[in-house]
Amino acid sequence: MTTEEQVLDILKDSFRDAPIDWGEVLIDENKVLDDMIKTMFSLNKKLNKNSKEVVLLAAVIKLNVEVAALKAQKEDLVRELIKLKG
């Protein structure tokens, strides 16, 4: 059985190349990770075996869409700032 600690280790390793500068974010990385891990483990326990794969796939797709949208928004904001400074 997968533990919360195993997931946390994998997540922290995956953030090494992530574009998140946690020093510029108004939330604490460890708190967010801990809260999300607890929430997802709780949800996982409630799902039956047949629905876990589709829920996982949907969640991963949703997160990737949100990341792409936030990235585009950040790029737009940076362009606007450059225009305002220039």
pLDDT of residue 84: 95
Q: How high is the mean pLDDT of the chain?
A: 86
pLDDT of residue 60: 87
What angle, rounded to 10 degrees, do the helices at 29-46 and 4-14 form? Answer: 130
Instruction: Tell which phi-psi region holds residue 18, choosing left (phi > 0), alpha (psi between -120 and 50) or beta.
Output: beta
Q: How far apart are CA 9 and CA 14, in angstroms?
A: 9
Tell me the whole-structure pTM to 2 decimals.
0.62
H/E segment holding residue 73: helix 49-85
9 vs 17, more confident = 9
pLDDT of residue 18: 67
**Residues 6 or more apart from 55 whose CB is under 8 A from it?**
43, 47
Q: What is the pLDDT of residues 40-69, one digit of tens each?
A: 889 888 988 888 888 888 888 998 898 899
